[in-house]
Amino acid sequence: MNLFVNDKPVRIVKMEDFESSHDQFHLIIDGQEPDVRASDLTGDVAVSNPSVVLLYKLFGMLRGKKLRKLNTLTLAAPSRKILATVIKEQYNIIEAAGGIVTNGDKILLIHRLGKWDFPKGKLDKGEKFKDAAAREVEEECSIKVKLEGKICSTWHTYTQNRKGILKQTKWYAMTCLDDSRMKPQAEEDIDQLVWADPRQAASLVATSYRSIQFVYERFAGHYHLSPDHSGEDD
């Protein structure tokens, strides 16, 4: 589960993996100790076997405070699945899909609400992720694409009408078939589209959300170099 809460990476790992990587964290918190303050969350922080009470407290802080000094939060537990379930229970879940489109050696980026991004959008009722990904890209950019394969999934949070939303987005690699009528979909707050070479794309993405940086890193470092790689399934 590639999770980003208020643009902070939150990693969920198994206890055995965590126990062999203690030296990479600035602080390790006993998950049965509820007395954790926002000021404690500095640098790369890990929580060992967090209780449900502490999970709710941590996610409350992630939602309600800036936590500018926090870089990453790692949660280690015997069961990643159970931990993910507890986290999901705190939010309303929305499903979405999107893609990274290439045209030769160029990569398509959109500019939306002041950030460089990749096209994506919510699934229609009964729609499959793959179909939604292609549809959203074509609608937001007025191009025609061919789906190539999955890159990864991300989960990120935001607040809407005072409710916490957890959006799952499945990302796919695509190739452009026709961009002769390409234009940004203004009603989706997109004001610019660019075809960028990999160096330019990396520079633009570096100013975006960390979840988008993660998707691009997966694309560039894994899928693009290994075309048969299909990304994660969760």
List pLDDT tens digits, range 85-125.
999 999 999 999 999 999 999 999 999 999 999 999 999 99
Which of 33 and 56 is assigned the larger pLDDT?
A: 56
Average pLDDT (130-136) is 98
Q: What is the pLDDT of residue 231?
A: 40
Q: 130, 97 in Cβ contact below 8 A?
A: yes
Q: 205, 212 in Cβ contact below 8 A?
A: yes
Residue 232 has pLDDT above 80, yes or no: no
What average pLDDT does the chain have?
A: 92
pLDDT above 90 coverage of the chain, percent: 85
Predicted model pTM? 0.90
The CA distance from 92 to 164, in Å, is 6
163 is written with which tokens? Answer: 């409710």
Q: What is the pLDDT of residue 222?
A: 67
List pLDDT tens digits, range 151-204.
999 999 988 888 899 999 999 999 999 999 999 999 999 999 999 999 999 999
Q: Which residues pair with 153 in a beta bridge?
A: 170
206 is written with which tokens? Answer: 């570096």
The alpha carbon torsion through 113, 119, 124, 126 (nearest 10 deg) reads -150
Residue 234 has pLDDT above 60, yes or no: no
> What domains are there in the chain, each with its CATH number?
3-88 (no CATH), 94-223 (3.90.79.10)
pLDDT band at 138 (very low <50, low <70, confident <90, very high): very high
Average pLDDT (22-33) is 92
Q: What is the pLDDT of residue 13?
A: 94
Residue 10 has pLDDT above 80, yes or no: yes
Average pLDDT (9-19) is 92
List pLDDT tens digits, range 207-218.
999 999 999 999
pLDDT band at 223 (very low <50, low <70, confident <90, very high): low
Residue 229 has pLDDT above 60, yes or no: no
Q: What is the pLDDT of residue 125?
A: 95
Q: What is the pLDDT of residue 130?
A: 97
* Strand pairing report for 144-160 and 163-178: antiparallel
Average pLDDT (2-22) is 91
